[in-house]
Amino acid sequence: MALALLGQTLVAAGGLTDINWTLNVSTLVLFLVFAVVLGKFAWKPLLQVVEEREKSVHDAVEGAEKANAEAQALLDKHKELIREAGRERDELMKRAAKEAEQLKADLSARARAESEQIVQKAREQIGREKALAVQELRAQVADIAVDAAAKIVTSSLTPEAQKKLVADFIADLPKAAR
């Protein structure tokens, strides 16, 4: 019985499948009012904020891409400057090596020329001293010959004594030459 009573109250109040037109129309009207109010006061400002945010993000991305491109260009320029500096360094090193080699060759040639000059001067000096020594030796021989002749002339000796005098003179010659 209790179940029958519950079934009757449900039918009198309406079932689950019954359509309540008043509720449906009022819900639809409230939804439309709510949509219009939201569209007028909330949707436009919300869309504006979203668009501004999208624009700022887009600008930030473009700025980052531009900064990245500039940084890449600067990096490429820096790398080229480093390569150029390396080439200049290599060129300077080659030039310095050539100049050092040339300087070495010049100094070597100059040293060779100076040593040849010194040797030539030494030879000339030796030649002069030799000529002077020969001249002195001739003078001494002439003096000794004059002395020997004077002795021969002053002494009238026998032929054996003259031979002895000449032999003594000849024996004295090597002592005078030294």
pLDDT tens-digit readout, 35-84? 888 888 888 888 888 999 999 999 999 999 999 999 999 999 999 999 99
Please answer whether residues 156 and 120 qualify as being in contact, where contact means their C-beta atoms are separated by less than 8 angstroms. no
What is the pLDDT, as a whole number, of residue 139?
A: 76
pLDDT of 147 > 50? The answer is yes
pLDDT of 98 > 80? The answer is yes
159-177 vs 44-154: helix crossing angle, rounded to 10: 170
pLDDT of 115 > 70? The answer is yes
Nearest to 176 by CA among 127, 150, 149, 139: 139
What is the pLDDT, as a whole number, of residue 162?
A: 73
Please indicate whether residue 67 or residue 139 has the higher confidence score (pLDDT): 67
What are φ and ψ of residue 19, in 5° steps?
-100, 130
Please report, for the chain, the start and end positions of each structural domain, with discontinuous segments joined by +. 22-177
Confidence bin at 5 (pLDDT 50/70/90): low
Confidence bin at 177 (pLDDT 50/70/90): very low
What count of Cα atoms within 13 Å lies in the side-chain half-sphere of residue 121?
A: 6
Write b or e for each residue in 48-79: b if 16 or more Cβ atoms lie within 10 A of its Cβ, otherwise e. eeeeeeeeeeeeeeeeeeeeeeeeeeeeeeee
